[in-house]
Every structure is written in structure tokens, then in C-alpha cells.
Structure 1
């Protein structure tokens, strides 16, 4: 005698069979499992997106200038399609580059350059992130000769959730880099040969965003804590002595939420930083520039009047004590951005501001002053160039007029 299948048992049976089929597909054919999960057409769309984005994306993250040249660091996935590599371009006073090289060697599944600094005898040191063969990430340091040859390469710490976002060179030629290790702030000091002197975790920070070298081998470290996916965190300025001991720290802002992304040393020993400050009773944020004395006490702050969703991402000090900031301004929130540059007097007065970009998404990530007092700004653009996202650099006069502009990328 056959039993009649009840609707409930029928539905459960079909569900069990579907789950078993899905499990078998996952074990034997992951791609078949994804097709079962999202549907064949969606799977083809996902593969097409992956193929489309495996090449043609370049961006600049930082820039450093000397008396006669400037160097840009970023990343590209076009030289070895499907693999991201760090990219350094070295210029005279303007494009074209004198040389350019990609980095990311054996044992790495990918690499990116986040920050760059000049070495005493004309070389460069680059800080970034390397992806290891086990799927984790390393903080990555690379010392380069004046023509871009690798002098030494280091991945301190251990593989995990790590990376460097800032680098600076001390008076004695040693190198300090800051970033994240095991989801807390991390600072490493190495001698000029790449030998580890010390590394320190800063549990009061979730990540180090910027640092600058000070006299007597001290380091001013900026980082953020209490971050979330829906709102801003709180910034901390930490003073580190030559042995890695944190002698004091200062919370910024004193009230509310704000994140400082860049830090610079002023001629009088004070500090200046830029980032974004949360708006009271709002989820929006605005440009934030704060000038501090050597103990981290604010002397002045600049926050624009009215609702302008903008952020500073890089800062450079000018000979007259003024500063220039590069960052971004939203044209349409969560859709489109312009790069933006601001210039301030030593007293914090806004002298000029300039929007740069096109009809699509553009960002300013780095800024430096050149020997003739002009400014070089670097970042990324979707509005210009040959690729999907191109590395973008442009020069501005001291008054903010565009002097030159160039993109670097591949289709």
C-alpha cells in the first residue's frame, strides 16, 4: 500500500533533496554550487564582472617630493592581469616619468603600495600590504635605489590581517612604518639596512593612519579607534619615544566623532592634520583641518560652514607656514566624487579651494610641494584616461591654477 504524501512532507522532502544537491555541488563543483545558489545567468554575470575588472584599474595613494623630483606610489592590475601589484613612478618636475616599476614578487598573491618616503641618499622606501599564499596579509616594506632597484624587502610580523598605511624616515636614517596588525594599531622601526629595531602594538588604536618623524628619533603617530561601518570613529595622537614607548596621547576631537587621515610637521615643531569631522545630529561629515602645538593641543580648526560632505586625505606644509590639503568632495553622495584641493594660511584662513575631476568618480589621495612652490596632487580618476580607473596626477600653481595633468593606465 502506498502512503499519500502530505504537502508538508513533500515540501520537506524537496528541501532536503535540494540541500543534498547543493552540498554535493559545493564539495565537487564549487562553480556548480554558485550556479545553483544564484542561478546560471547571475553566475555568468558574476564571471563577466570578474573578467572585466581583472585588468584596467590603477590608482595613486601617495607622493613624496625632493628638490628636483617627485615619486608616486599606488597599484595596478594591468601589468599582470588578475594580480594587483604595487606601482612606483618617478618624475622630474612634471610628466613623463623618468622611470616606473611594479613590485610584488614570489610568494605573493598580490601587493599594493600605500605610502612613500625619501631615503637620505636619494632612494625611496615604500610601505604597503602584501597578500600571502595562505590567503592572509602582511605589512610590507620595500627600500629602493634612486633608479627603482630593490635594495631590501621585509614583511615583519606574521601573516594575518595586517598592512602598513604610513611611512617616514628618522634623522639617523632608520625607518618607521605604521598600520594594522591583528586589528590594532602597529608601529615598526627598522634600521637603514632593514633590520628590525622594535615593533609596538597600540591597543588604544584600531589602525595607524599617519605618522611623522620628529627630532631625537621620536615619532608622532595618528590613528583611529571606535570605528564602525556606519559612522566615524575617534582619532588619537600618540607620541612615541625613540625606544617605542608611548609617552602621551591626545584624543581628537575632544567631543563628537572625527577621523584624521594625514599628519604633517610644522617648522615650529607643531603638527597639522586633516580628515573628516562628524556633523552634530547627523550621519554626514565635513572637511576637518586642525593645527596643534607640540603637545597636541589644538590652536585652530577649520570646518566649513553649511553642509558640505568633504574629507581631507593628504596634507603638505608650505614655506610660509601655510598648508595645502588634498581630498574629495561628494557631488552625489555614495555615487560620485570630485578631487578637491584647499590652501590655508598659517593662521588657518582659507585662501582658495579648487575642484578637480570630470563627470565620473575622481579622488585626491596625495599632495606634495615642489621646489618651485607649485603643488603636485595624485589620486585616481574614472573621468579621464585609457582605463577603467586610471592613476591620476596634476600640478597646481601656488594660486591654484592647473599647470599640467596626466593619467596612467591601461584599457
Structure 2
């Protein structure tokens, strides 16, 4: 399979577009001679990168692996500089299996990692289970690292059965919300049914529990995705398994700030699962995951859903590969978003990283594959401050620094190039973008006295006012570095503060 395969599927009718999808700027493997995976990646405030995942290796980059029994996995955290040199690597765990599923940078330039822990030794000292000695049970696990990767605090959450955490987000009050699933009826869990339940855990900045809630009644449920909403609440998504059979519906739960359910959506009939969700500037949501292929009824393929702010499905898109999964999604412009995942060719026993650009009405703009003759799976990506992308997952192909079997693979992509837009509907310009302090606006006179709002990527209102002149300057010096959405009327622009 070619390293890069590009298919143009759609071109805007009202816009002249010559778009070239991102190309590889650099790539690098991490791990050892066993299996290693990158599960989450973010660009850090120093413009470097940090990757969270798991390692089954005990050599090369993973000489610190603690595992002795079971599958032998440690949580695996890799910090890279802006020039993609390795700054530090940490293996976190004990004698059994641990994972790092998601990572955030904290205000002190440290990091908080969320995952699961089975051990009762090494870096794990408060597990509610028996450490895998008799039963293979897990706790949810949160680890706070300083900027050098040293552990500041670590805590297990759950009960005596298996409990796992998959995602963590920061809240506007300086705390954290983690989501996952729980089987326990004791410890930190209030779950009288005792079956697999979607679990929401809120902790403070040092790991103390603020609240622990499970959802789903007597039906098996699991949470895999969460996004803050612009009203201060959250949309959580994952799967619901009615009747206890291994057949899932996509499940969405809109809650307010204190966890009260405002609406619920079950979608699909068989094997629909959601792995990531975001809110768009108009209040609607884009969710990505997998579904059973309606043509073959054999393999699962990637799934994209657009859902209204009140919980109605507006459109659906599914992939066309033999087997595929969409694992991550991110807004990139006012009318577009990028979906990440992987696509498999069953006959060739190979798969590739996949990025898919779509408009907010469900049209595919381009589809890009990254891979070779081996097996690659993309689990996480993020747009970078230079408008490119950083992605991670796993590969069996001997890319740069490959060690054997499956390695964590990190790939830096260029920005989209060759894009020239002439859209008569555009009524304002924003420059420079990215910017450090001042954002210049040039607007159509028809927009005078129209309100403007700037939202953070998590949906928090950062600045608002009215357009009082055809040329204006907005001071965003106080904003933290990152991606923001400027909304004027029914149009939006993505802006980047560096």
C-alpha cells in the first residue's frame, strides 16, 4: 500500500478550492521489541509534544517497564521537544498491567494522566482489588506528573471489581472530570445493579474525589468520550448494550454541570460505538466511532454522526473500508472538521492511518491514508499551532527508529497547502492568524453593531462585544495559548493564540 494515498471526493460549489491534504514532515517510532501503542497525543505549551499509551516492551525506550505478570503492560509517557528530540520517557506501573489512555497539560506545565491499574506494587499502592493475584481486576488510575515526568501524586479509584477510566478533561473551576466504566458496587462506586456502567468521576487538582456517579440503570453502559458544552454542562458518549447481549447502540447523555441528565439518545441497532465527540460553534455535535457495515453485515466501519444541540441526529456517514474505526475528531475551520482513525484491507492483512476532512453538512472533502505494507492504527491526533497535525497510534512497519512487533508511531503532518478561497458569502477577515496579542478584524459594513463572541475550544466564552467599526482590533494577550473560535452572526473562524 502506498505511504500516502489521496482521494478528492468533494469540492465546494461556492468556493474555488485547490486543496492538498497534509503530508508527512517527520515520523518516529518509540518502544521496544514487544507491542507498544500511542493512545493520546497533545502539543504542549513549549510547542513540543507529549504522548500517552502503553508498552509491553522491556528494552530500548521501555527499559523501565515494571511488569512481571499478565500481559506485561506499563503506562508509557513520551515527551518530545518542538524539534521532536526525546526529552524524557516514563514507564508507570507495577507487576501487572497499567495503561495511560489520556493526558492533559496542567497550568503548572506538568501533566495529568488517566488510565487503569491492576497492580498493587511499584507505582500503584492503593488499588481496591487484589493486584491480579487471584482475579484480574482493575481500578481507574490518575497520575500527576511534573514538567520533567516525575510523579507528584497518584491515586486509584473504584472498588473490588474492574473499573477503568478512558478520558479526562479539565473544568472551568480548576478540577477534572474523568469518564469510563465500572463493575463495582463498593469502594468509590455507588452502583446497586453491579453490572458494567458508564462512570463519571470528578476530582480536584490533587486527586480528591468531588463526586462519583454511574449511569445506565440495569443496562450495561460504557463511556468513552466527553466534551464540555457551551451551556456549562457536558455531553458524554459511548455504548449501551440492551438485554446484556454483546450488541451495542451508540449512547449519548447530556448532563448539566452537577451531573443531572438533561437528555439521552440511543442510536443504531447493532454494534454502534462512539469513541470521540466535539461541539461545533453552532451548538451541534460531531461524534465518531464504528458501526456494522450495512453492505456486508460482517465488518465494522467508521461512523460519523452530526447531532443537534437538543439530541436529534441530523446526518450520518459511514466508511467504506473492509474494516475501519474512527477514533478522534477535531474542528479545523468554521465549516469543516477532521476525523482520524484507521482503515484495514482484510485480504492483505494491512491497515493505514486515516484522516478524513468533512464539511458540517456531511460532505467528504478529502480522504488521506498514511501507511505502508504493515499494520497501522491511529488512536489520537491534534491540530498544531502551525496548522499542521500531530498524530499517534501503532505500526508494524519499520519506520524511523522501529524496534520490532508493534511500535508507538508518532507522525507530524504539514498544514493543508494550495488552498485559495473566493467565497462571496464571507463578510469579515481576521489577521494575523495565528497571533500573539492583537487580532485585527475587517468587516462588511452590513455587520456593524453585530455582536461578536470568542469561545475557547472547550466552549467557554473568552471575549464578547459589538462590532462598532469596519476595522477593529481585539486584544487577546490575556488568552492562554491554544485554539479559539470567533463567532460573528452565523459565521465562525478558528483563531490560534501562541
State the TM-score, normalized to the length of structure 2.
0.64
1:200 aligns with 2:213: yes
1:170·1:214 contact (CA, 8 Å) conserved in 2? no
The 2-side partners of 1:97 and 1:55 are apart by: 19
Matched, 1:176 2:177: yes
What per-residue deviation string (whole Å, max 9, x for no partner) do you get for residues 236-256 of structure 1?
111122222222211123x55
Moved more, 204-213 or 235-244: 204-213
Shift of residue 190 of structure 1? 0.5
**Pick from 243, 246, 250: which aligns with 2:261?**
246
2:383 maps to which of 349, 369, 372: 369
Closer/same/farther in 2, CA of residues 230 and 160 from structure 1, 3 Å limit: closer
Cα distance in 1, alignment partners of residues 368 and 234 from structure 2: 32
Residue in 2 that maps onto 1:349: 363
Alpha-carbon distance in structure 2 between the residues aligned to 1:90 and 1:157: 29
Whether 1:270 and 2:284 are equivalent positions in the alignment is yes
The yes-or-no answer on 1:109 pairing with 2:122 is no
Q: Equivalent of 1:130, from 104, 110, 117?
A: 117
Cα deviation per residue 1:177-227 (whole Å; 9 max; x = unaligned)?
111110221110011121101111112552111112335652211110228
Q: Distance in 2 between matches of 1:65 and 1:156?
A: 28
Correspondence for 2:336 among 322, 343, 346: 322
1:356 Cα offset (Å): 1.6
Structure with the higher fraction of residues in helix conformation:
1
1:212 maps onto 2:230 in alignment: no
| 1:266 to partner: Cα distance | 2.3
Contact 1:119 1:173 in 2 (8 A): no
Instruction: Check the 8 A contact 2:289/2:304 in 1, yes or no.
Output: yes
CA gap 1:374/1:94 in 2 versus in 1, 3 angstroms: farther
Contact 1:231 1:283 in 2 (8 A): no
CA RMSD of aligned residues (A): 2.8
Aligned to 1:87: 76
Aligned mates of 2:288, 2:175 — CA distance in 1: 26
Residues 352 and 400 of structure 1 are in contact (CA less than 8 Å); yes or no, is this contact kept in structure 2? no
2:221–2:239: 8 Å Cα contact kept in structure 1?
A: yes
Aligned partners of 2:141 and 2:54: how far apart in 1? Answer: 14
Matched, 1:310 2:299: no
| 1:42-57 alignment runs, 5 A limit | 56-57=34-35
2:49 corresponds in structure 1 to: 70
The match for 1:48 is none
Q: What is the aligned length?
A: 345
Q: Residue 166 of structure 1: SS of its match in structure 2?
A: strand
Deviates more, 1:197-206 or 1:136-145: 197-206
Q: Secondary structure at the match of 2:334?
A: coil
CA 1:91–1:269 in structure 2 vs 1: closer, same or farther (change >3 Å)?
farther
Higher relative contact order (CA 8 A, sep 6+): 2
Structure with larger Rg: 1
Question: Do the aligned partners of 2:388 and 2:414 also contact (CA within 8 Å) in 1?
Answer: yes
User: What does 1:185-196 correspond to in 2, within 5 Å?
Assistant: 185-196=198-209
For the 8 Å contact 2:329–2:339, the answer to whether it is kept is: yes
Q: CA deviation at 1:98?
A: 2.8
SS in structure 1 of the partner of residue 96 of structure 2: strand
Distance in 2 (CA, whole Å) between partners of 1:330 and 1:257 is 18
Contact 1:223–1:236 (CA under 8 A) maintained in structure 2:
yes
Equivalents in 2 of 1:375, 1:122: separation in Å? 21
Which portions of structure 1, spanning 4 or more consecutive aligned residues, are displaced by more than 4 angstroms? 227-232
In the alignment, is the contact (CA less than 8 A) between 1:140 and 1:155 conserved in 2? yes
Mapped partners of 2:416, 2:322: distance in 1:
23
Q: Indicate how the Cα distance of structure 1 residues 102 and 396 shifts in structure 2: closer, same or farther if over 3 A, else same.
A: same
Provide the TM-score with structure 1 as the length reference: 0.76
